[in-house]
Amino acid sequence: MSTDPLSWLDERAAERVDAGLRRQLRERVSESSAIDLASNDYLGLHRHPEVVEGAIDAVRRWGTGSTGSRLVTGTTTEHALLELELAEFVGAETGLVFATGYAANLGVVTALAGRGTLVVSDAGSHASLVDACRLSRARVAIAAHRDVAAIERLLAERAEERAVVLTDSVFSADGDLAPLAELHRVTRANGAVLIVDEAHGLGVRGEGGRGLVHELGLAGEPDLVITATLSKAFAAQGGVVLGDARIRAHLIDAARTFIFDTGLAPAAVGAARAALSLLRRDPSMAARVLDRAADIARIAGVAEPDSAVVSVVLGEAQVAFDAAQACRARGLDVGCFRPPSVPAGTSRLRLTARADLTATELETIAEVLGDVLATARGKESVTA
């Protein structure tokens, strides 16, 4: 028996290196000339002067931190205004802001589920929803990706009185859309609640970026709950749950990630409010994101996406990693998704569009991706 209780970590690390799955942090620089196709800054607002000033103004008035749980130290008018503005924007009755989008998903699922509840989750749901299922103490069933019939069957055959269905609106790895209209139909018919994570839909899909729920005419339905993050299109940090006023009241009483977590920092609240204001003044930003995504997809030789996410599947993890490194060496930052983020054999470059990409930047993207993808696809054809 080993005397080192952590020796197994060395074995796991070696296995990850062999599989091309070792992850390392890369240091960012404050000023970079690289073209960003890696972040989720879909509207290109994280350095916008009004967004920066929104954060600074909030810090001047409220300080650098929230100093404690909003139930203990009180909530600021800034938080309350953000909740009202987000709810009005997406067509919901009320909203409740959390410290992160991850915390929002954990909070709402665990508060609405529990023993005696069935939770049905799409196989492609975000990790935060997966972890929420694990913490919910409910019976959990995983349905195949976008399989409405399977979800309908699970709901109809359940023994539990209550049921909750979980899905992303836009799935983060592939960028494909959930069949929300059909999902809402079957959840309502079976007395269930539908929770939709709009993290990658808000600011991109729907009229003026109001999200896929709004686009499909489902906004304001009492049995549909929206969650979202403020760290993507709204260029800040934090999460929000939007829906029926009864749900907000229940979350304040029962959501542990709200009750026991420090409130969202004022700077993030101020930045998110400023970003939302900019989007409302220029709703065409949402359409520009999808236009740039179509441009990037054409350059990469893949199908035009329904979201800001352009997924370029390359297969083996090392091939995708090498391609990402080659892009970065030439001034193009890209995402590299490998297992467990995606299934084995589907490692990929994940390219994200921004509304503010210029024609000159698109020319550079075409030049770099043309060379890198030709090499990567050549490697993959050899290993296939």
What is d(CA 327, CA 313) in angstroms, rounded to the nearest whole number?
A: 15
Identity of the amino acid at 316 = E
The confidence score (pLDDT) of residue 205 equals: 98
- Which has the minimum average pLDDT: 71-80, 88-97, 247-256? 71-80
How sure is the predictor about 380, in pLDDT bands with cuts at 50, 70 and 90? low
pLDDT for 241 equals 98
Closest listed residue to residue 122, CA positions, set 210, 213, 191, 183:
183
Average pLDDT over residues 118-139: 97
pLDDT at site 1 = 65
Whole-number Å distance between alpha carbons of 231 and 49: 17
Cβ neighbours of residue 7 under 8 Å, at least 6 residues apart? none
Tracing tokens 């509304």 back to the chain, one arrives at 355
* Residue whose entry in the numeric block shows the structure tokens 């790895």: 173
Which band of pLDDT confidence, cut at 50, 70 and 90, is reported for residue 31? confident
CA 307 to chain centre: 12
What local confidence, expressed as pLDDT, does residue 20 receive?
82
Q: What is the pLDDT of residue 238?
A: 98
Q: In the predicted model, what is the mean pLDDT of the chain?
A: 95
HSE (side-chain half, CA atoms, 13 Å) at 237: 11
Q: Please report which confidence band the pLDDT of residue 118 belongs to, taking 50, 70 and 90 as the band edges.
A: very high
Q: Which residue has the tokens 């991706």?
A: 369
Tokens of 30: 């404050």
User: How many CA atoms, within 13 angstroms, populate the side-chain half-sphere of residue 162?
Assistant: 12
How would residue 25 be classed by pLDDT, with cut points 50, 70 and 90? Answer: confident
Nearest to 383 by CA among 330, 356, 347, 351: 347
Neighbours of 44 (CB within 10 A): 20
How many residues does this entry show for the chain?
384
CB contact at 8 A, 151 and 165: yes
pLDDT in tens, 189-224: 999 999 999 999 999 999 999 999 999 999 999 999
Alpha helices in the chain (DSSP H): 7-18, 49-62, 70-73, 77-90, 101-112, 127-135, 148-157, 180-189, 212-215, 245-254, 256-259, 266-281, 284-300, 317-329, 359-383
CA angle at 105 for the pair 173 and 123, rounded to the nearest 5°: 40
Q: Tell me, what DSSP letter sits at residue 177?
A: B
What is this structure's pTM? 0.94
What's the pLDDT at 27?
81
Q: How confident is the model at residue 383 (pLDDT cuts 50, 70, 90)?
A: low
Alpha-carbon distance of 194 to 166, in angstroms, equals 6
Spell out the residues 6+ positions from residue 345 whose beta carbon is closer than 8 angstroms to its own. Answer: 315, 316
Residue 252 scores a pLDDT above 70: yes
What DSSP line would sit under 250-291, residue for residue? HHHHH-HHHHSSPPPPHHHHHHHHHHHHHHHH-THHHHHHHH
Residue-level pLDDT at 18: 86
Separation of alpha carbons 120 and 194, rounded Å = 10
Predicted confidence (pLDDT) per residue in 321-360, tens digit: 999 999 999 999 999 999 988 999 999 999 999 999 999 9
Model confidence at 102, pLDDT cuts 50, 70, 90, reads very high
Q: What is the mean pLDDT of residues 230-235?
A: 97
AA letter at 102: Y
In 3D, which of 300, 291, 292 has the Cα closest to residue 327? 300
For 5, the token pair is 């209780």
Residue 139 has pLDDT above 90, yes or no: yes
Per-residue model confidence as pLDDT tens digits over 289-301: 999 999 999 999 9
pLDDT score, position 381: 65
List, for residues 146-192, the tens digit of each pLDDT value: 999 999 999 999 999 999 999 999 999 999 999 999 999 999 999 99
Q: Which domains does the chain have, with CATH numbers?
A: 49-281 (3.40.640.10), 283-383 (3.90.1150.10)
Peptide bond preceding 305: is omega within 30 degrees of 0, i.e. cis? no
